[in-house]
Every structure is written in structure tokens, then in C-alpha cells.
Structure 1
């Protein structure tokens, strides 16, 4: 049995988009409480418009007790008071649209907070199966939590004990686990209906789509993700009928599966395979305890390989068949920033040159465009420091807007900030970066503008890799050549008629006849002379 095919349509606006992820509590604080909010975002929309991003994606912003930074939702229809009101978000949506920017939200469909009214009702009613309940401890033991209130037994938690798993059913029944319910049982049906209700509410408020947290995890024990695919394909078909210009982006990590299942795009992620780890995670940050020391390609030592990424990319794009997209993030709230370990902000411009000239949906994590670094000693806040060695808080520190004591993030005493600022005296900031034509920020802005001006650099034109070691060289379409050297040592490449190429954006590339010499941490985007 296979899942039904997803409709083959993608909103035009998504195909050309550059995305920007905002962790709302760390972006901009307007009221002096030390926590970012939507009025703070509103003040900086002109900056985002200047940068050239088309889509802003907010990490979870719904009402929550914040045991897991908002990934424990207590009310999907209400903005968390720390960020403002529903109307504040609507103002951001409207003002962003005036600047050509769409807003996407983060949807957490697999679990809620234990304080959600759905869970309280289910805990009081043995006939309510919106969550996964059992009269015994299942496997793994650590995820089965004693039932609260009057209900006997245990409930399944997805991550923390305060995150009970919503019941979307099991793909297979098992006599040893009699609590399993099929995907068409009343509880799973109610939860699927609730997903549509939540999405429709925010679509009607002008939201352009959702990034879907842990999208692969809803149906349990699902070999081949067949029932999970059926679930998302059904939702996609509904969206295409009722809201055809809206989009879903998966946190799945396997675009070759998730896009055919109904998503418009999916991320290559660090925790699924080696595709992204092989590029720019050098295991010196958030996951250093869990991961080994395999070198990545975009590391100053120059010992990595593009092969794992290229192989995964080709498999994914072949499976997608041109009806969706692979998204590449610079980082996110769970993983180390680009500036981490031995890779400093002075070394990461080649990452952006690659990201913004490769056929992907580039996604910039807030602050990466100025070279904010992963802060290794940041304190644990709202569940960021996990028992398995992940230290996520180092990528969640406040945005650095200027060189003042509070970095322009908040008027509060810095001791009251959501997380401490990067303590380094030379931390980068937006104001200084704007004033420096050679700054990383200005390079990123120019690369985004170049991508928009030259469709061959976008998400749909063909890519032909000519050299996959150092330097990385590839052709986009018929007329554009990109050369990237992310290592410290120079690298050379011979290209016939190189002297006839016209430079569009170049840093540290010299051309002598047919020989192109790339200095350390350099890149060049060229086109044929017209």
C-alpha cells in the first residue's frame, strides 16, 4: 500500500523566497522586560526588507508555560502574552506584507503542554482518546508518565514529561500494546480536524503558512511513513482547495519522502543523515557531546567532503521531481550557529555565497547574517540544555543591533535579558555592519539581491558541479559560474576562457588566463560577458 500522491502545485512566491527565522524571545524587546516581542519585530521590518528576505518564520509564539521555549503549546489560538496579542501579530503580518514579506508560524502538531485544556479534559475522562493513554508502562519507559487527576494509568510524552503526545493513531496494531488505536479512531480523527481548524484560523489572519515541527512523528509505528504520508497528503489537498497560496514546510529532514507526502518543502537537517553536518557543522558547539569530530566541508581546516551532501541532494531532488523544494538553513534554535569553534565570523561569507547561489530555499537564522557566534557558556533557559548533551541555548542569545551595553535588544538591565548577550567585546552588531561596505552583512545583502536579479541563481535552475573538492565550482544554468573556497589555504581551478567571465560578486578570486586562484575564505559569482 502506498500513500496517495500529493497535488503537484507550489505557490510561486515560495519558489523564489529567501527565508529568515526569528526566535521571537531573542529578536527585539519593545517594552523593557528583557524578552523579545512582536512590537519589537515591527520596529525592525525595514531592516528585513533592506536585507531582501521574502519570508519571516517565527518559532512558536502561542500561549505556553514555556517549559520547552514554547514548544509546549497551551492554546493554539492565542499569542503568548510575553510577545503581545493576536492583534500585535496581525500588525506584523500586515506591515510585513506592505514590504513584500510574508509571515509563517511554527506549528507543533505532535504534542501539547500538559496545561492545554484538551489534555485536562482527556485526563478527566477515560473515554477521551485525544492523547495516548495506557494502563501500564510501555517502551521506552522514560516516556510513559503517570496519569494526573482522576484517570488511572499513564500517558505517552513525546519529549519532556510536560509534553503529552497527541494521538494520531498507530499504523500497526500489537496485542502486547492494547492501548494502540488505528488512525481512523475517534481520537485521531478529532486531532486531524483540529489541525485544519488551527491552520484555517491563522490563514484567515493573513499568515502565509507553517513550518511544521517534527512532522514525521505524528502516526506511531509507521513503517515507510505510509499513514503519516496519508495524513499530510490529506491536509495538503485541503490547503490546495481552500488556501492555494499558502505553504507548508516540514521539519522532517528527508525531502524525498516529505515533499511527495504533501509538503511544499523540507529542510536538510543535522539530525537526519549527514547532508547538513557534512557542510557546516564542525561538532564544536551544541551537539559536541553526541557527535564525533568528522570534518565538514565549510571548515577552515579544509579536510571535509561535499560527497555526503551532494549524494543526499541528488537523491532528494530526484524523488521530489520538481514539485517541491529542499530548504537549507544556516542554523536554527536547536543547532550551532555558523560562527562556532574554529570557524569565526570572518570565515563564513563563503557559506552564504553557497547558500544563496545553490538551488535551494535558503533560510537564514536571525543574527547569522552579521556573524553572531554560538555562545558555549550560555545558561540553561526554558529547557534548552538537554540530558543527551545538546546545549541549544548558545544559539538563542539576543540579537545584537548596536554597540551599546544592551546591544539595542532591550532597555532592560542586561541581567534581566531572556539570555545573556554574547560577552565577547568584539561581538558584531547591525549598526556597525551597515556602516562597513565589506562587512558580512553587506555581502549577504548583495548576494540576496544578486539571487533576485539573476533567476539562474535561484531555486529552480539547473546546477552542474564541475569540481567538488577545494575549491567548489559549479555552474548554474548556462551562463553563471560559482567558485567557493571555504578553507584557510588557497585553491586553484582551471576553467577554459575564465578571463572572459564577468564578475558579479567576488571576494578573493584572481583570474589569470584559464587559471582561477581562490584565496582562503573566498568566493566568486561570474557570468559570461553579454
Structure 2
């Protein structure tokens, strides 16, 4: 059983670009929230199988915030950021195989809904990691794309020849498959989605709607937000990436105007600030 008193706790500074004058009296709900990062797999194991799960998070909510402002036995947090909980091929969860299903190690979609209900009853908002830059190579979309299924042929970034350039850190980004190459910024097992394809964008819009409406999350942390669309060897902060995020934010706000979007933009604060507030609501300050 895990020691729930020692979960991963990440203290972050978030950049919030707010207006002045009249707008200063109408700060968004997240402005004074304290968010607690939870890696479900190592947080609390409710059933003794050696793996943390959603029921374990529910069981320990009173440790995080018991909903009573007069008590001092809880941490008093007012937000939870769940690291990836969707079905995936790896322990970390950043290689999704099914965007609409909770990883079976963690429980079920109904377990997640119960967590949302229990958290909201205590005044705790819940946001989740949403990985939109890439999927697992085991995802059915990639399997179909690699097999030249015409429906999915352009859902990933393919090239007949190796373009030859490397990633921002000197890593290999073009990976061979049969007689072609596909682009995977982080790893060959995590191929990048082709977000210039309207069909891919439409699918991600529907995934966002599912989690906001059906599962009732309060927002998303967008993984690898600076890498979404490449322009040749330019793989960070491209105009197309910012434009895509602006449209995605508009879509999210049309579903829930109060939904929070946090962008993971590993860069200086000066560069990251260009994403706020039109592309995302908040970014991390990594410098």
C-alpha cells in the first residue's frame, strides 16, 4: 500500500495575464486556487493490487480537503491536477491508446464520475492531462494509418524519405516504418498527430467535449503545447501551433466558458507569455 502522505506534489508558478481597471474585479475562479498534482498510479492503492487508483483518490479526499473550512487536519487544497488517466501503453500514460476510456488499472469511467462528484462536493476543482500532440503507436488510429487505411492515412505525419533533421534536443524524430518515415518528436512509440488535418482536429474537439460534458472535468492541462504543428525543421512555437490552440480554446469555451486550459510550454516566461490569454488561460513559469 502506498504512503498517501508522500504523493508527488509539484509547486508551480502560473502566469496569469489579466486586465486592469474594471477587469481587475472579475478575476477567474482559478486565480486563488491551490492545485495539487496527483499521479494516480502512485498515490493510493484502494484494493491492494499494488497500483494506485481512482477509488484511492476518493478515499483520501478528506486528507486533501475535507470540505470544512474550520478544520486544520487537511491540506486545504482547492484543485486537483490528475496526470494522464486515459488508457495507455505505458505506466506514465502520455501515450494514449483510448481517449474515451479510463485506464483499467485505475478503474472505470463511472469511478471517475464518482471522483468528480466527491471532489466538487468539497469545493475541489479537477483538471486532467490531455495529450493532443501525439498518441501511442498502439493506438488504433496509428495502426490504421501505418497500414495505409485511406480514412486514417493522413492522421499522422508521414514522409516517403527521411527529411533528416533532428529534434530540439538533438534526438531522432523521423522513424522508419516499412518504406516510409513517420514523425515522433518524443519517441518512436509516440507518433505525432497531424493537427493540420481537419478530421484529426474534429476528433480532438469531440474528445474535449466528452470530458467536459460527459465526465464533467473543470479543464485540461495541455501536454507539449508548444510542439503541436511543425513547419519543416521548426518544431516549437510555430504560428500554426498558436492558431490551432486559439481555435481549440474557442471550442472549449463554447462548451464550458469557465473551463480552465493550462499549457505546458517549456520555455522562458517571455516566450510562454505569448500563449496567454488567447491560446490558453495559464502557462507554467519554468524559469
Matched, 1:122 2:145: yes
> Are 1:225 and 2:238 counterparts?
yes
C-alpha change, 1:121 and 1:17, in structure 2 (3 Å) is same
SS at match of 2:194: coil
Q: 1:142 aligns with which of 150, 154, 172?
A: 172
Cα distance in 1 for partners of 2:54, 2:102 equals: 10
Does the CA contact (< 8 Å) of 2:226 and 2:237 recur in 1? no
**Number of matched pairs:** 243
Q: Secondary structure at the match of 1:82?
A: coil
- In 2, the alpha carbon distance for the partners of 1:232 and 1:46 equals 36
Contact 1:7 1:236 in 2 (8 A): no
Report the CA distance between 1:241 and its aligned residue: 2.5
In 2, Cα distance between equivalents of 1:126 and 1:84 = 32
| In structure 2, distance between residues paired with 1:208 and 1:224 | 26
What is the rounded CA distance, in whole Å, between the counterparts of 1:35 and 1:242 in structure 2?
Answer: 34
Shift of 1:120: 1.1
Considering only aligned residues, what root-mean-square deviation do their CA atoms show, in Å? Answer: 2.2
Among residues 22, 43, 54, which one is paired with 2:38 in the alignment? 22
Q: Aligned runs of 1:131-530 on 2, under 5 Å?
A: 131-138=156-163, 139-140=165-166, 142-147=172-177, 152-168=179-195, 183=196, 188-204=197-213, 205-221=215-231, 225-253=238-266, 254=269, 255-269=272-286, 275=287
Higher-Rg member (1/2): 1
CA distance in 1, matches of 2:93, 2:246: 27
In the alignment, the residues of structure 2 paired with residue 60 and residue 240 of structure 1 have an alpha-carbon distance, to the nearest angstrom, of 22
1:225 Cα offset (Å): 2.9
2:78 to 51, 54, 76: 54
Aligned with residue 45 of structure 1, among 24, 40, 61? 61
Structure 1: which 4+ aligned runs deviate by more than 4 Å? 6-11
**Structure 2: distance between partners of 1:242 and 1:145:** 37
Give the TM-score normalised by the residue count of structure 2.
0.79
- Secondary structure in 2 aligned to 1:36? coil
Unaligned runs of 5+ in 1: 1-5, 169-182, 270-274, 276-530
- Matched with 1:507 is none
Asked whether the equivalents of residues 39 and 84 of structure 1 are also in contact (C-alpha less than 8 Å), the reply is yes
Does residue 98 in structure 1 map to residue 121 in structure 2?
A: yes
* Rounded Cα–Cα distance in structure 1 between residues aligned with 2:27 and 2:193: 30
Q: State the 1:23 CA deviation.
A: 0.8
Q: 1:135 to 1:190 in 2, by over 3 A?
A: same
Quote the offset at 1:231 in angstroms. Answer: 0.8
Partner of 1:81, secondary structure, is coil
Q: 2:29 aligns with which of 13, 16, 22?
A: 13
Contact (CA 8 Å) 1:57, 1:104: kept in 2 or not? yes
**Aligned counterpart, 2:6:** none
Distance in 2 (CA, whole Å) between partners of 1:126 and 1:30 is: 42
Question: In the alignment, does 2:140 pair up with 1:110?
Answer: no
Q: In structure 2, what is the Cα distance between the partners aligned to 1:115 and 1:126?
A: 15
Gaps of 5+ in 2: 1-16, 66-73
Alpha-carbon distance between aligned partners in 1 of 2:135 and 2:260, rounded to the nearest angstrom: 23
TM-score, normalised via structure 1 length = 0.44
How far residue 102 of structure 1 moved from its aligned partner, in angstroms, is 1.0
SS class of match (1:145): strand
Structure number with greater CO (CA < 8 Å, separation at least 6) is 2
Whole-angstrom CA distance in 1 between matches of 2:103 and 2:253: 29
Query: 2:97 touches 2:139 (CA, 8 Å); kept in 1?
Result: yes
